[in-house]
Structure 1
């Protein structure tokens, strides 16, 4: 991912970072209000990579976290992303940070100290590459405990959703035709932009059913596509994406409650519900499989243990079982942008041009018309040389 240039406000002291504070206890919701140069104030234990990537993409001047960005429960990836991008991260500032700061306050950050004008608001720990590496090393030491919890969550999910996994019970009836077609499901997760860009020739040729999982619908729209279906709890998809004409399926709790349904109805958009304990990306896979998709291509989804744990949710255990269920139908597009690039080197381009010139010259030399043109060119060249000689 190409990192944006950070536009930090200047202050008298070059060691002080100045910016407008934007606050929200949900990082995913905050990102939609941030502008380059803002200071993001979050309440995010174990900051994950997806959240960190979104903060980097906006170009924030600094991140102030009321909670520890690495608690030590497991090696989460977000702090490393921020530090590598050169974005200051100040940790463990305390819950009172949200009471002492207001939206739009001008904030000054120096090392681990947060000020509003001359008043010190809070003190925390300024993270750097060394402190993050040390915290990650400590977190990896306790990884066995998290593996045990992950295994327990997996078994609990299997007990809860056995009928959904094995028999497809609870999958809603949809209007979108999926049987026999490819499905491309997009989650706004790791490296989704680069992978989606590389898949353009595939999308153009196979015309798969396009499913956006929550904010993945916006990712499709931003890439120039119109999603056929949107699945999720509707907390990170924009109103414009919901109104694009896609079939909408709201992820509900197992007891049927669907908090996101009211928002969809307020927009005047019809929607179905899909009650399950799984994640929204799991529901997209299970629905595609149950409705007869011949192939499921996943972009931005979680596909390894480190990413499952990085999400920091017990429900991620469902993704493991879902992938076992879908089996050979699933093709994970993660990293395809690194495996395959359509870049042409300068030397290859030069060789192509020279080959084209040589081919044209050969064609002119052997054809009657070509010989006539070559004769005219030779005569023009002789006249040009003669004119130069007369001038000298």
Structure 2
């Protein structure tokens, strides 16, 4: 780690960013307790889009990353989202910051250094647009290697999960009836909020089976829906969601180990294990398909190659194959909100209403029947005014 510089000016004389420090190796755990104005200290190689949007939503004063926010493996989208939101991103400060940055301590960023009082805690690179553009250009040059690795992982997944993909071997029995019904699978991923709002009419009319994948269950609850089923490894779903009465399917390792079961036992909530190699969103789709769902609507899932790479996991190859497996009945809701976003402004609607009222008034005034009604209502109004005046005289 570079030598940490001593502060040469008092804290009060330094123009920078200060806040209460929140530290966690896992970004998604940190965002659960990160408050506006805090300094987030993370250890996240290649910050992906979902993690960046979760951080930005918490409105921290700054983000300090022990690892490289852009390692160069591929052009990940997260750092640009953070910097574009006006949040300072102090990058590559070293893993030692996780021990030196005390949870709850008030710290200060001055330039490219994180201080506690006058004592330097970590030094790194303060990313700006120029740094990001250069790093992204280098990352695009190495994208072909990531595509080759993705293809290799895809072949390995076919060998490991051939029976599950082709014949549904290993899919557990569930009590939720999916036969012939439409299923809505919600992952807390890209544009899930916008798409859930757009799908309100669909949900109300068709009443699909609602499946939340880990944090997707909380996303459904936030929008006022009760999930019928929760599927995942149980590491990013709230206790309230697990206790909501939904059927729970725990994503287990291929050898049968299911750490998520321990959490369910502590809560006293029953669950079913589903051993599989892929991701939780994969097994949600495979289960819905195997149990006879007529249509699968996916919200917040991964659909493009860049999104697969942005997730930063070799296992994302399984999602590609799963989509091929259930493709005939899969509808991706991603971007629906942008496609159907209204382009009519409030002012235009008010002008339209005013024009309609004016048209009605003119029609009533000029037509013979309208004039008759006009005189009748006019007489009634005069009588009402006369009666009202009598109450005060």
Moved more, 351-360 or 187-196: 351-360
For 1:226-265, list aligned pairs within 5 A.
226-265=226-265
Q: Does 1:164 align with 2:164?
A: yes
8 Å contact 1:187–1:299 — kept in the other structure?
A: yes
Partner of 2:37: 37
Q: Are the structure 2 counterparts of residues 315 and 366 from structure 1 closer, same or farther at C-alpha, using a change threshold of 3 Å?
A: same
8 Å contact 1:364–1:371 — kept in the other structure?
A: no
Query: In 1, distance between residues paired with 2:126 and 2:72?
Result: 17
For 1:341-360, list aligned pairs within 5 A.
341-342=341-342, 344-345=344-345, 346-359=347-360
Q: Are the structure 2 counterparts of residues 37 and 175 from structure 1 closer, same or farther at C-alpha, using a change threshold of 3 Å?
A: same
Shift of 1:361: 4.5
Query: In 2, distance between residues paired with 1:164 and 1:367?
Result: 77
For 1:258-297, list aligned pairs within 5 A.
258-297=258-297
Shift of 1:98: 1.2
Q: Which digits, 9 at most, give the CA deviation of each residue in 1:47-95, with x for residues without a partner? A: 1110010000011110000011000011111101101101100011111
TM-score (norm 2): 0.91
Moved more, 308-317 or 177-186: 177-186
Q: Are the structure 2 counterparts of residues 243 and 343 from structure 1 closer, same or farther at C-alpha, using a change threshold of 3 Å?
A: farther
Shift of 1:179: 1.0
Q: Are the structure 2 counterparts of residues 26 and 352 from structure 1 closer, same or farther at C-alpha, using a change threshold of 3 Å?
A: same
8 Å contact 1:217–1:237 — kept in the other structure?
A: yes
8 Å contact 1:67–1:91 — kept in the other structure?
A: yes
8 Å contact 2:178–2:291 — kept in the other structure?
A: yes
Query: In 2, distance between residues paired with 1:55 and 1:72?
Result: 21
8 Å contact 1:285–1:296 — kept in the other structure?
A: yes
SS at match of 1:231: strand
Shift of 1:376: 6.2
8 Å contact 2:74–2:146 — kept in the other structure?
A: yes
For 1:1-392, list aligned pairs within 5 A.
12-13=12-13, 15-342=15-342, 344-345=344-345, 346-359=347-360, 361-363=362-364, 365-366=366-367, 368=369, 371-374=372-375, 377=378
Shift of 1:351: 1.5
Query: In 2, distance between residues paired with 1:213 and 1:41?
Result: 27
Structure 1 gap segments, 5+ residues each: 1-10, 382-392
Aligned structure 1 segments of 4 or more residues deviating by more than 2 angstroms? 11-15, 359-370, 372-381
Moved more, 346-355 or 219-228: 346-355
Q: Are the structure 2 counterparts of residues 180 and 115 from structure 1 closer, same or farther at C-alpha, using a change threshold of 3 Å?
A: same
Shift of 1:347: 1.8
SS at match of 2:320: helix
Q: Are the structure 2 counterparts of residues 361 and 141 from structure 1 closer, same or farther at C-alpha, using a change threshold of 3 Å?
A: same
SS at match of 1:20: strand
Query: In 1, distance between residues paired with 2:309 and 2:325?
Result: 20
SS at match of 1:70: coil
SS at match of 1:157: helix
Shift of 1:15: 2.9
CA RMSD of aligned residues (A): 2.0
Q: Are the structure 2 counterparts of residues 72 and 347 from structure 1 closer, same or farther at C-alpha, using a change threshold of 3 Å?
A: same
Shift of 1:101: 1.4
Structure 2 gap segments, 5+ residues each: 1-10, 383-393
SS at match of 1:297: strand
Query: In 1, distance between residues paired with 2:12 and 2:355?
Result: 57
Shift of 1:100: 1.0
Q: Are the structure 2 counterparts of residues 178 and 376 from structure 1 closer, same or farther at C-alpha, using a change threshold of 3 Å?
A: closer
Q: Are the structure 2 counterparts of residues 371 and 132 from structure 1 closer, same or farther at C-alpha, using a change threshold of 3 Å?
A: same
Shift of 1:352: 3.3
SS at match of 2:337: helix
Shift of 1:109: 0.5
TM-score (norm 1): 0.91
Q: Which digits, 9 at most, give the CA deviation of each residue in 1:222-251, with x for residues without a partner? A: 011000000000000000010000000000
Query: In 2, distance between residues paired with 1:376 and 1:253?
Result: 77
Shift of 1:353: 3.5
Shift of 1:33: 1.1
8 Å contact 2:14–2:110 — kept in the other structure?
A: no
Shift of 1:359: 3.1
Query: In 1, distance between residues paired with 2:71 and 2:149?
Result: 16
